[in-house]
Amino acid sequence: MCGIIGYIGDKNCSDILLQGLSKLEYRGYDSAGIAILNNNNITRLKTEGKLQGLYAKVYLEKPEGTIGIGHTRWATHGAPTTINAHPHSAGKFTIIHNGIIENYKELKSYLQKEGAIFSTETDSEIIAHLLDLNSKNLTFEEAVVKTISKLEGAFAVLVLFEEAEKIVAFKQHSPMVIGVGSGEMFVASDIPALLEYTKRFIFMNDGELAILEKNSFNLYDFSLNSKEYKIETLNISPLMAEKGNYKHFMLKEIFEQNRSISDTFRGRVLNGGEKLDLDTSELNDFFKNSLKRVIITACGTSWHAGLVGKYLIEHLARVPVEVDYASEYRYRSPIVDENSLIIAISQSGETADTLFSIKMAKEMGAKVLSICNVFQSSIPRSSDAVLYTYAGPEIGVASTKAFTTQLAVIIMLAIHLKECKTGELDVKLLKELLSIPEKIDGILQNSELILELAQKYHHFRDFLFLGRGLNFPIALEGALKLKEISYIHAEGYPSGEMKHGPIALVDEDMPTIIMATKNNQYEKVLSNLQEIRARSGKVIAIATEGNNSIKEFCDDIFFVPESSALLEPFFTVIPLQLFAYYVADIKGTDVDQPRNLAKCVTVE
């Protein structure tokens, strides 16, 4: 939940560290700090709050040096204060840490008995003290190895030592990628921090330790045995992680959805929709001969994509599907066997609950397929096969383009599973997929109408979101978007469930946004809509283009293009994303970095 970066080379590194941290701020933004090694001396600068505070400090103090580390924090242990901000030091060692040291209390009392004096409330500070204690009679590297052997939990750590011109990096259950430059080396939590400097990366595995020097680096296991590594070249433009002319990343990401969905179909939906080539060759025999059950695990918005997946896979492939919150799945003795497929959905590929759920299911004999947006992140690397969503870097904490590209992968997977099970390719539906990007573009061109709705409704304190069938997960998603960035209370419900409780909430102060598209449940939704109006509730309907007769039943209306019912979620979600965005912007909240949240949740 924190972002880390390190640099070693010839350049004065404070700018590189700050620039990298600005790309990692989505991971945590309650405090930040850097440490720079120069002439056997380490300078630390730290501030609470957003990165701007650190910029100001660096500008005033102008620290010199070409070896440094930087950290942006999302507090777990200890309040987000300057003192608790990383880096932490003990003796000649300075460290930054992303993750949680689960046994820190035992280690802290052990270290205190040995004379260590702690200055922070964090779990991370124990790493610096362990290094200091372990360094008596040991080399720098040996002290690191001995320290790692004491740690339990999740950690990606960078270490500076006053007497060595190197950075030591090690990781277990928290992400870390090395960027290979020419005469300089980088290391960070995620590639957007490094895209400006290199396109060559080594994705570190759990249990690995890297020693970075200006002109070289070496990879080891936690016993200091050398390890082989693979350098991967990624052609991702740094511009993809820039805001461009948009006011916020979230808005840019909403407007990118036609492109990101096209990219996700590219190379998979072929010959104008006559052929589907899904890169799951490792699992195709399993799909054909053994698959009896699908279990989808995910969190947040990705879980909503999983709910859409249940409808699609059951409808098309006729395989039973369960959808579980990954955090619940792990702890409820689930029933899994070798005929089960676990589908893990995750934008970041690092969500701790989702990662642990697939590790557990794998141990119980299930096959694991992940749907992920971040190349080579932990979840794909722990899966039997992966289907990447090509959304590009998603920086706004509220997930938008990642969600619709997850839907794009899921609909292709459902069509593929049907083909594996029945030998029949649904060419009609496959062809229709290719029309999705253009239709989304059409909705986005009407974004001003959503802005007008946001201006009209932003002052309400509670909202109800309703949908049936495939639009029920979209109601949940609309409510989540509004909650997380505008801090307005919102509830998502299946429309038919309304009369079993939520209708008691309906009055003139609680508007309802209802998915009322023309599908086989339309008449029932229309009844729900009238029930709300009969109780003085205001209704905004998301309806199918051309259905003018719905106007008499609602206060406001936004039209989405006509489509096969199976594809409606691609379209109904877009106005809800825009509505949440505009309401939040009008209220003046921090849209891209809403309070208390982080983009990537690597703690349980």
Catalytic annotation, residues: 2, 599
Q: Which is nearer to ligand M6R, 351 or 383 (CB)?
A: 351
CB of 57 to ligand M6R, least distance (A): 30
Q: Which is nearer to ligand M6R, 134 or 189 (CB)?
A: 189
Tell me: does residue 347 bind ligand M6R (CB under 6 A): yes
Pick the closest to residue 81 from 25, 24, 32, 34 (CA basis). Answer: 32
CB neighbours of 391 closer than 8 A, spacing ≥ 6? 253, 256, 260, 263, 264, 347, 373, 401, 402, 405
Classify the phi-psi angles of 62: left when phi > 0, otherwise alpha if psi is within -120 to 50, otherwise beta: left
Tell me: does residue 486 bind ligand M6R (CB under 6 A): no
* Strands 385-388 and 208-212, bridge-based pairing: unpaired
Beta bridge partners of residue 541, listed in sequence order: 514, 557
Backbone angles phi, psi at 124, to 5 degrees: -65, -30
Q: Which is nearer to ligand M6R, 289 or 596 (CB)?
A: 596
Binding mask of the shown chain, residues 441 to 480, with x at each position contacting ligand M6R by CB under 6 A? ---------------------------------------x
User: Which span (397-405, 418-426, 441-449, 554-562) binds ligand M6R, by CB under 6 A?
Assistant: 397-405
Q: Which is nearer to ligand M6R, 317 or 355 (CB)?
A: 355
Tell me: does residue 354 bind ligand M6R (CB under 6 A): yes
CB of 414 to ligand M6R, least distance (A): 19
Tell me: does residue 348 bind ligand M6R (CB under 6 A): yes
CB of 449 to ligand M6R, least distance (A): 23
Half-sphere exposure of 351 (CA within 13 A, CB side): 25
Alpha carbon 452 to its chain centroid, in Å, reads 30
CB of 301 to ligand M6R, least distance (A): 3
Beta bridge partners of residue 324, listed in sequence order: 297
- 62 in Cβ contact with 107 (< 8 Å): no
Tell me: does residue 386 bind ligand M6R (CB under 6 A): no
- How far apart CA 440 and CA 265 sit, in angstroms, is 15
- How far apart CA 395 and CA 402 sit, in angstroms, is 10
- How far apart CA 197 and CA 183 sit, in angstroms, is 12
CB of 49 to ligand M6R, least distance (A): 21
Binding mask of the shown chain, residues 280 to 299, with x at each position contacting ligand M6R by CB under 6 A? -------------------x
Q: Can you give 300-347 as a three-state secondary structure string?
A: HHHHHHHHHHHHHHHHHHCCCEEEEEHHHHCCCCCCCCCCEEEEEEEC
Q: Is 601 helix (H, G, I), strand (E, B) or coil?
A: coil
Tell me: does residue 399 bind ligand M6R (CB under 6 A): yes
Q: Can you list the alpha helix ranges (DSSP code H) found in 371-488?
A: 378-381, 401-422, 427-433, 436-445, 447-457, 471-486
Minimal CB distance residue for ligand M6R = 300
- How far apart CA 599 and CA 75 sit, in angstroms, is 13
Q: Which is nearer to ligand M6R, 213 or 491 (CB)?
A: 491
Half-sphere exposure of 360 (CA within 13 A, CB side): 19
Residue with tokens 């419900």: 493
Q: Which is nearer to ligand M6R, 296 or 600 (CB)?
A: 600
Q: Which is nearer to ligand M6R, 130 or 598 (CB)?
A: 598
User: Which span (281-289, 313-321, 341-349, 439-447) binds ligand M6R, by CB under 6 A?
Assistant: 341-349
Tell me: does residue 576 bind ligand M6R (CB under 6 A): no
CB of 326 to ligand M6R, least distance (A): 8
Q: Which of 17, 296, 397, 453 binds ligand M6R (CB under 6 A)?
A: 397
Tell me: does residue 301 bind ligand M6R (CB under 6 A): yes
Tell me: does residue 300 bind ligand M6R (CB under 6 A): yes
Alpha carbon 334 to its chain centroid, in Å, reads 25
CB of 86 to ligand M6R, least distance (A): 22
- 319 in Cβ contact with 342 (< 8 Å): no
- How far apart CA 376 and CA 311 sit, in angstroms, is 29
Residue 416: both structure tokens together: 């593929």
User: Which span (51-59, 395-403, 445-453, 556-564) binds ligand M6R, by CB under 6 A?
Assistant: 395-403
Residue 404: both structure tokens together: 């619709």
Q: Which is nearer to ligand M6R, 127 or 391 (CB)?
A: 391
Q: Which is nearer to ligand M6R, 133 or 361 (CB)?
A: 361
Q: Which of 287, 553, 601, 602 binds ligand M6R (CB under 6 A)?
A: 601
Tell me: does residue 191 bind ligand M6R (CB under 6 A): no
User: Which span (275-283, 284-292, 334-342, 393-401) binds ligand M6R, by CB under 6 A?
Assistant: 393-401
User: Which span (231-239, 348-356, 464-472, 526-534) binds ligand M6R, by CB under 6 A?
Assistant: 348-356
- 300 in Cβ contact with 480 (< 8 Å): yes
Residue 555: both structure tokens together: 């206060």
Tell me: does residue 398 bind ligand M6R (CB under 6 A): yes
Binding mask of the shown chain, residues 209 to 238, with x at each position contacting ligand M6R by CB under 6 A? ------------------------------
Tell me: does residue 346 bind ligand M6R (CB under 6 A): yes
Beta bridge partners of residue 434, listed in sequence order: none
Backbone angles phi, psi at 282, to 5 degrees: -60, -25
Q: Which of 258, 262, 302, 602 binds ligand M6R (CB under 6 A)?
A: 302
CB of 298 to ligand M6R, least distance (A): 6
Q: Which of 351, 357, 389, 577 binds ligand M6R (CB under 6 A)?
A: 351
- 524 in Cβ contact with 467 (< 8 Å): no
Q: Which is nearer to ligand M6R, 193 or 397 (CB)?
A: 397
User: Which span (262-270, 311-319, 396-404, 428-436) binds ligand M6R, by CB under 6 A?
Assistant: 396-404
Q: Sheet containing 41-48: which strands, arranged edge to edge?
A: 41-48, 31-38, 67-73, 3-8, 185-188, 177-180, 200-203, 232-233
CB of 344 to ligand M6R, least distance (A): 8
Q: Which is nearer to ligand M6R, 124 or 348 (CB)?
A: 348
- Chain contacts with ligand M6R (rule: CB under 6 A): 299-302, 346-348, 351, 354, 397-399, 480, 484, 600-601
